[in-house]
Amino acid sequence: MTRFIAVSNRRGGVGKTTTTMMLAYGLSVVGRQRVLVVDLDAQSSTSMVLMGYDRLKEARSRSDLNGNIGCTVPNLLIEMFGDDTVEISNYIATRVGDVLLPGGEKPHLDIIPCSYELDDREIEMIVARSSAHATISGVFEHVQRRVGQIIRSVDGAYDYVVIDCAPGLSQIVWGVLRTADFVIIPYIPDKTAEDNVGWLVNRLGAASRAKKRTLPNRASSANQGIIDIIRKKYGGFEVQIPTSLPLSNALDFRFQPTSLSAKFGSANVHVKQLFEAALKWVND
């Protein structure tokens, strides 16, 4: 059974991509699991971090089975316009990342990369579907349902699918949040966090069956009060990620593959802690 984990927060820059990367390496390298990452953010930072720019450029310039240029999420969206089955494997780049297993082989870590057209493509998709529905909410429902169906079409092929959601709450992101089994909400524990995290948790509660957990990022002794409040009100990991230069440096692709500990340095401990906590949570 594949477990679908979305990493989301409406707010930008809180550590969604960092969390996705930590989970991707934790699950595939430490846990030896089969992992697919889906980059649902036009900024494509996860794609760059896991593929490197050259391989990402190659995926963006390759034709998909429909002859559209780019084996990336935006062209996958074109296939979502209708109701046909989608050949999702066409969009998957295999054995990515810059970390090797201790034996020297590559971990089972794949990605569906993104590109900058994602936001335009979403609007096009909504407009294209509008004649088929009586109301705009009918269109939204279709888009969300199709996104969920397509993401779920890899069920069985991976142990974990980790989806890095764009900031904001587009129909695509909303479709993922509604279909995910688990939602991790990274946040920076500052004055706006309670309001921001609370809004997402409450909105998810009404529409999604996913289990949710908050994850404090850039945590320090100075903001434990906010972390305690958020954990009590909305549920959260015991694990906290501090501000860490090695972690920030790891958000990069190295052409020379390396070991997990060499990539993350002193932040390796946080990768392992998050991996263990996430594994326990999803298997509870």
Ligand X SMILES: Nc1ncnc2c1ncn2[C@@H]1O[C@H](COP(=O)(O)OP(=O)(O)OP(=O)(O)O)[C@@H](O)[C@H]1O
Contact segment (CB under 6 A) with ligand X among 125-133, 148-156, 220-228, 240-248 equals 240-248
Residue 216 touching ligand X (CB under 6 A) = no
Q: Which is nearer to ligand X, 45 or 259 (CB)?
A: 45
Which run of H or E residues covers position 24? helix 16-25
Q: What angle do CA 40, 42, 43 make, to 5 degrees?
A: 110
Determine the Cα–Cα distance for residues 14 and 169; give it in Å rounded to an integer. Answer: 15
Residue 218 touching ligand X (CB under 6 A) = yes
Residue 90 interacts, among ligand X, Mg ion, none and using kind-specific CB cut-offs from 5 to 8 Å, with none
Which residues fall within 8 angstroms of residue 278, CB to CB, at 6 or more apart? 5, 23, 26, 27, 184, 237
Contact segment (CB under 6 A) with ligand X among 38-46, 135-143, 177-185, 231-239 equals 38-46
153 residue type, one letter: S
Q: How far is the CB of 180 from Mg ion (least distance, A)?
A: 17
Residue 246 touching ligand X (CB under 6 A) = no
Q: Which is nearer to Mg ion, 17 or 217 (CB)?
A: 17
DSSP class per residue in 181-247: SEEEEEE--STTHHHHHHHHHHHHHHH---EEEEEEEEE-GGGHHHHHHHHHHH-B-S--EE--HHH
Q: Which is nearer to ligand X, 12 or 138 (CB)?
A: 12
User: Residues in contact with ligand X, total (CB under 6 A)?
Assistant: 19
Residue 85 interacts, among Mg ion, ligand X, none and using kind-specific CB cut-offs from 5 to 8 Å, with none
Give me 226's structure tokens: 């906010």
Q: Which is nearer to ligand X, 86 or 187 (CB)?
A: 187
The residue sitting closest to Mg ion, measured at its beta carbon, is 17
Q: Which is nearer to Mg ion, 24 or 86 (CB)?
A: 24
Residue 265 touching ligand X (CB under 6 A) = no
Binding site for Mg ion (CB under 5 A): 16-17, 45
SS3 159: coil
Residue 31 touching ligand X (CB under 6 A) = no
Q: Which is nearer to ligand X, 74 or 146 (CB)?
A: 74
Q: Does residue 182 contact residue 211 with C-beta atoms inside 8 Å?
A: yes
17 residue type, one letter: T
Q: How far is the CB of 62 from ligand X (least distance, A)?
A: 25
Tokens 């579907």 correspond to 129
Which of 23, 28, 41, 70 binds ligand X (CB under 6 A)? It is 41
Residue 205 interacts, among Mg ion, ligand X, none and using kind-specific CB cut-offs from 5 to 8 Å, with none
Tokens 């479709």 correspond to 175
Q: Which is nearer to ligand X, 53 or 138 (CB)?
A: 53
Contact segment (CB under 6 A) with ligand X among 55-63, 140-148, 229-237, 238-246 equals 238-246
Cβ burial of 181 (10 Å; 0-12, 13-18, 19+) is middle
